[in-house]
């Protein structure tokens, strides 16, 4: 069965601090895809990254970086030098090749960045 766990319900940091959002997943498929989405207070879900199970390379995009480790079934997300505009709910999600397009979301982590 597919499952995504985001153990951190809420994180508060001060601007310019680095912050890491944890994501642990469970799947029986050998082919699967992992995603991160951002949901600001306005409500829309914004796609940040997609990773397939065969690509364990870490990725950096500006202040964002992602660490994918199959050995620990984790796909963690780090924001460097956080800004107030980073305040949002962040969702990690999983889809399996067997179940096609179905996205299973974690419960989300609320990130509050204070100035």
Partner 1 sequence: DAMVIQNPRYQVTQFGKPVTLSCSQTLNHNVMYWYQQKSSQAPKLLFHYYDKDFNNEADTPDNFQSRRPNTSFCFLDIRSPGLGDAAMYLCATSRDKGQQPNQPQHFGDGTRLSIL
- Residues contributing to the site for partner 1 (CB under 8 A): 33, 35, 37, 42-47, 50, 52, 91, 95, 97, 100-103, 105-108
Q: For partner 1, give the closer residue by CB, 46 or 60.
A: 46
Alpha carbons within 13 A on the beta-carbon side of 89: 14
Q: Which two tokens stand for residue 86?
A: 């980073």
Compute the least distance from the CB of residue 72 to partner 1, in Å. 22
**Beta-carbon contacts of residue 62 (< 8 Å; ≥ 6 apart):** none
CA 59/CA 68 separation, integer angstroms = 9
Compute the least distance from the CB of residue 53 to partner 1, in Å. 10
Compute the least distance from the CB of residue 81 to partner 1, in Å. 25
Q: In the block, which residue shows the tokens 């419960």?
A: 107
């Amino acid at each position: 069965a597919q499952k995504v766990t985001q153990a951190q319900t809420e994180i508060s940091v001060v601007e310019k601090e680095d912050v890491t959002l944890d994501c642990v997943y469970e799947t029986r498929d050998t082919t699967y895809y992992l995603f991160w989405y951002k949901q600001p207070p306005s409500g829309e879900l914004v796609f940040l990254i997609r990773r397939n199970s065969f690509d364990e390379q870490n990725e950096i995009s500006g202040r964002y970086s992602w660490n994918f480790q199959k050995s620990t079934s984790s796909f963690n997300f780090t924001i460097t030098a956080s800004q107030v505009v980073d305040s949002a709910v962040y969702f990690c999600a999983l889809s399996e090749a067997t179940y096609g397009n179905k996205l299973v979301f974690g419960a989300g982590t609320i990130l509050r960045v204070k100035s």
